[in-house]
A and B are shown apart, each in its own frame.
Chain A
């Protein structure tokens, strides 16, 4: 329903001669600032700290693009958007880039006039259970009581998963996500289910965070990634390769701490990444030190993950699927050459 509405609005929009004509790169360079759409508060992804400064893995991605294009990660204007207005804001040109934990789906990619430039976080629906149950796998959840929010996709996924595994569950249904968590807190149910990235946040909100545990099973696919307007391939390339550069840097062991030393490296992969050989930057329409700027001023993917959601943050999320491909995860950069 929501999607139909958005599609309708975009349909109206496409009749008007107002779609981006000048290239996004030129506009961003001319303005000297990147307009980046973020959330109105998702822990670890985009939220403000006590000084009112935006922090999070999505915020770091905005900064990476600004570093690559403008050479300065501070030249970002953050535009907080609700889930309902995010795609229109991109379509209408209010923002140049949307980094707001948006799931990459076929409908969104094909019918909204948008392009997903990659995946910066592989999320999926998981389970948070009471430690007292003494279980370590979702397969042991037969007969458990769940607190669920009525009418959501999470509920559908849960039903499908239990049917597929020939298990049964009892449901305590609530209206809002807040009530659902509250029900779990008060012990009305054994488990709650939601996107894994959020479960870690929920865990911290418990009175005793160590009395609950996130199970390893992931039962749905929620690839979250940055989004750009369709029809500007150069800008799409810049955003996509910014993503790849942060991954490639981690894979090659280049971090914000050692990037200056790595400039002298003889490793051909590092030389191409940092622009000491090859023409990766020029081909994107950027300067040759584009990737150097990203890594030096923001960091590689591993650093972003750790400080925002991983070991270096209170959320303490395992890398899991978000590990590099050669370490058991799905994060794979196309080669820069």
Chain B
């Protein structure tokens, strides 16, 4: 008696699977698509090999300037000036301090992931900036003072961005809440501040901070230039954060506000426990977007004579012994910016996934 055997399914015809199928479906589905694909390939062909040649295969990585024979990038410039790109004028013997701060930052971010105790978390959040500040500027616990004029390079870029992001966040939330407030004075002040700041370019605020403010100080009062710039950037960023958060607040259905009130929660309880967690969650993509643009905006501090990593490229290119290395410098900085901004956007995606409680 013949048993019924299930026939093995035939493999899909070679015309509807595999690499060739994928290529045909996606890249060569009709004449227009095929032409576009070919044009795209040709474009990549003209760009990528010369770029790789310049950046890697024909590049010079070590040796003296006058020994360079290859046509590609002369990365010896970056190697020579790397310390300045990263630390600015920070004294060489003290480079361990910014290095330690970088390690602390990583440890801090990891601890936020693993520490569950809320009080400990808050203590860490409050202690972190203080520790970093003391380490970088010195003056405590026998650490040598390093004046802010000596801070520079990537260190300054990250510092300005970090302070701008961290300090502007709470201010921005308060401004957003103030804008929604029913109290007329609070509301007017918040709207006035936000609209004033948003109506002015960052460069103007920096100029005010660096050029105009000192004219109003009485003689002998030396108000740190970096601090002035940081305050300007923070206030500027706070106005933008406020608008992003307001968008989040307005997206929360009226029912949520009413529900929190009907539970007998006070205004602040309702905001902190019910409204803000939801509002901030939906604002994450926009918040990170504005943080990334702030990170890139920090380069503007070069117009008030602070040397972030981009300004450092210009300065190191004025060394009479190292003239004509702009391209290498700018490519290097581009890569650094891309890596940092890409990391930020990936981090925000991770946070979004973590907070995704929808079904």
Residues of A near any B CB (own CB < 8 A): 9-10, 12-13, 16-22, 40-44, 47-52, 55, 77-82, 84-85, 88-89, 91-94, 178, 201, 204-206, 308-309, 313-315
Contact = CB atoms under 8 A, between A and B. Distances in A.
Interface string B304-335: 11010001001111111111101000000000
B143 interface: no
Given A85-B211, A91-B215, A40 B307 contact: yes
A47 B210 contact: no
20 contacts: A9-B211, A40-B302, A40-B305, A40-B307, A41-B316, A42-B318, A48-B89, A49-B319, A50-B81, A50-B322, A78-B149, A79-B149, A81-B305, A82-B304, A84-B207, A92-B217, A93-B214, A93-B220, A201-B320, A314-B323
Nearest to A88: B211
Q: Is the interface of A mostly helix, strand, loop or mixed?
A: loop
A80 B215 contact: no
Contacts of B210: 85
B84 interface: yes
A313 B320 contact: yes
A79 B326 CA distance: 23
A88 B311 CA distance: 21
B297 interface: no
Given A40-B307, A88-B211, A205 B324 contact: yes
Contacts of B303: 82, 84
A38 B16 CA distance: 70
A92 B149 CA distance: 18
B219 A44 contact: no
B215 A17 contact: no
Contacts of B320: 43-44, 47, 55, 201, 204, 308-309, 313-315
Contacts of B311: 40
B218 interface: yes
Given A47-B319, A47-B320, A52 B83 contact: yes
A315 B322 CA distance: 11
B215 to A, nearest CB: 4
Contacts of B211: 9, 84-85, 88
Given A82-B304, A313-B320, A48 B315 contact: yes
Given A49-B321, A50-B80, A205-B323, A9 B215 contact: yes
Given A82-B304, A204-B324, A205-B324, A50 B319 contact: yes
B215 A43 contact: no
A47 B92 CA distance: 18
Interface centre among A13, A40, A49 (most CB of B within 10 A): A40
Given A50-B81, A84-B303, A16 B216 contact: yes
Nearest to B317: A41
A4 B218 CA distance: 24
Nearest to B147: A77
Q: Is the interface of B mostly helix, strand, loop or mixed?
A: helix
Contacts of A21: 219
Interface centre among A18, A43, A52 (most CB of B within 10 A): A52
Interface centre among B84, B214, B326 (most CB of A within 10 A): B214
A88 B315 contact: no
Given A50-B322, A52-B89, A204-B324, A94 B214 contact: yes
B286 to A, nearest CB: 33
Interface string B77-113: 0001101100011001000000000000000000000
Contacts of B304: 82, 85
A273 B282 CA distance: 75
Given A40-B314, A41-B314, A50-B321, 11 more contacts: A19-B219, A40-B305, A43-B320, A47-B318, A50-B81, A50-B316, A204-B323, A308-B320, A314-B320, A314-B323, A315-B320
Nearest to A19: B219
B79 to A, nearest CB: 10
Nearest to A54: B89
Contacts of A94: 214, 222, 225
Nearest to A78: B149
B212 interface: yes
B323 A43 contact: yes
B214 A43 contact: no
A16 B215 contact: yes
Nearest to B316: A48
A47 B219 contact: no
Contacts of B207: 84-85
A240 B81 CA distance: 36
A9 B319 contact: no
